[in-house]
Amino acid sequence: MSPATPSPIAFPDVILPQSASQLRTEVRSFLDEERARGTVLGRPDSWLAGWDPGFSRRLAERGWVGMALPTEYGGAGRGFLERYVVIEELLAAGAPVSAHWVSDRQAGPSVLEHGTDEQRRFFLPRIAAGQCFFSIGMSEKGSGSDLASVATRAERTTTGGWRLTGTKMWTGGAHANDYAIVLARTDETEDKHAGLSQFIVDLRAPGVRIEPIRLMSGEHRFNALHLEGVELPGSMLLGRRGDGWKQVTGELAFERSGPERYLSTFPLLVSLLRELEQRSVTAEQLTHVGILTARLHSIRRLSLGVAASLDAGAPADIRAALVKDLGTRLEGTLTETVRSVLPTPADPHATPGSHPELLAFALLHSPGYTLRGGTNEILRGIITRGLEQH
């Protein structure tokens, strides 16, 4: 790499397009309507836990699902920066976006990039209409950080299709969604990164067994996804046989780069401010709020830099890893700071949307912030390697 190559952790200073402020106003007024309907409770982690297909469809009617997909496939043909404005508003408000989250964030872009024209024409308009929800079928027991060691096998059938056998772990939303993109081994190779392929699996197909994994809160969001000889037609191979690793790493850039990696607990800060408004506030409390706000502001600027790189089609994986490491740590710090600024007992059974309930929600979800989508230790390895290569 030449010395003139920009550092992989240099972030462009982003100016949002002019259309952004109009768009932001439209999203806020949509959210006001939804609040009046009672669908937006301002909960933390709403991109993971707020499953509301009706909300997703109404959002799609505004053109805000599959925003960056081309219009010929039913998308809105708008850029990643405009999409960023929409999703940051939704996350900040704690809107229930989890039904379409994975389809919008990574399944759609993956099908667009690697899919056949038939796959694009079938899946993309449905995704953009908020009518087709995807799960991520990557991790397995013992194959999380070391994803290339997946043991799920896909064998050719005599009819030109595939038979999948194995168990995926932590498959978010598999009990409610329509499809999962599953990473499986198709060929035995010396290099474990070769011989992997991706498949689109219908989650209602015979041989699919879904076993709940409950969170500490008792919520059912995750599953073990057992694939017990699931037969797929040949047309459900996504991309090229053997290119699974390359495809999955590209997908991870989308998975790791968004504002959900620092805004998961933001609604709790909003709730704290509402609580403080009703009290006389000390200088110390204000200082803590100020520090959190400053950190959020600086991570937002970095995160926008990642969105700008994606918009320009430039590689963003190292920058995304850095923002995700900083951002997910802030998600935990925010929860702890809110707790110390206003010592309120967390109560999962308190009135939905009240401060004690939101605090309990954020606390019970907190072990996942720095794990999901790749742990922070793994992210730091990616950043270090990127810097060394530079």
Ligand X SMILES: Cc1cc2nc3c(=O)[nH]c(=O)nc-3n(C[C@H](O)[C@H](O)[C@H](O)COP(=O)(O)OP(=O)(O)OC[C@H]3O[C@@H](n4cnc5c(N)ncnc54)[C@H](O)[C@@H]3O)c2cc1C
- For residue 170, the minimal CB distance to ligand X (Å) is 3
Give the integer Cα–Cα distance in Å for 17 and 246: 32
In the block, which residue shows the tokens 């403080």? 276
CA distances (Å), origin 193, targets 248, 375, 388: 11, 19, 22
Residue with smaller CB distance to ligand X, 58 or 365: 365
Strand partners, 167: 226
SS3 230: strand
Diameter of the chain by CA atoms?
Answer: 74
Instruction: Identify the CA nearest to 42 among candidates 264, 279, 322.
Output: 264
Strands 179-185 and 134-137: parallel
Among 300, 319, 324, 372, binds ligand X (CB under 6 A): 372
User: Which stretch, 65-73, 165-173, 281-289, 382-390, contacts ligand X (CB under 6 A)?
Assistant: 165-173
Contact between residue 227 and residue 167 where contact means Cβ atoms under 8 Å apart = yes
Using alpha carbons, select from 252, 248, 278 the residue that is nearest to residue 373: 252
| 37: exposed, middle or buried (Cβ count in 10 Å: 0-12, 13-18, 19+) | exposed
State the DSSP code for 234.
G
Considering the rule CB under 6 A, would residue 170 count as an interface residue with ligand X? yes
DSSP assignment letter at 367: G
Query: Active site residue: 82, 140, 255, 260, which one?
Result: 255
CB 260 within 8 A of CB 87: yes
Residue 175 DSSP symbol:
T
- Count, residues near ligand X per rule CB under 6 A: 20
With CB under 6 A as the contact rule, which of the stretches 63-71, 167-175, 308-316, 348-356 interacts with ligand X?
Answer: 167-175
Indicate the residue among 215 and 350 with the shorter CB distance to ligand X: 215
User: Applying CB under 6 A, which part among 88-96, 154-162, 206-214, 365-373 lies near ligand X?
Assistant: 365-373
Using the minimum distance from each CB to ligand X, give the nearer residue, 289 or 322.
Answer: 322
Tell the smallest beta-carbon distance from residue 78 to ligand X (Å). Answer: 26
Under rule CB under 6 A, which residues in 122-151 are in contact with ligand X? 135-139, 144-145
Q: How far is the CB of 245 from ligand X (least distance, A)?
A: 15
Nearer to ligand X, 56 or 106 (CB): 106
- Is residue 255 annotated as part of the catalytic site, yes or no? yes
Among 172, 244, 250, 305, binds ligand X (CB under 6 A): 172
Residue from the set 72, 187, 228, 377 that interacts with ligand X by CB under 6 A: 377
Q: What is the CA radius of gyration of the chain?
A: 21
Report if residue 171 touches ligand X, rule: CB under 6 A: yes
Helix (H) or strand (E) holding 229: strand 220-232
Nearer CB in complex with ligand X: 8/374 = 374
State the residue number with the nearest CB to ligand X.
Answer: 144
- What φ, ψ does residue 97 adopt, rounded to 5°? -110, 5
Minimum CB–partner distance for residue 17 and ligand X (Å): 32
Binding string to ligand X for residues 90 to 129, with x set by CB under 6 A, is what? ----------------------------------------
Nearer to ligand X, 110 or 344 (CB): 110
The residues that touch ligand X, with contacts defined as CB under 6 A, are 135-139, 144-145, 168, 170-172, 368, 371-375, 377-378, 381
The residues assigned a catalytic role are: 255
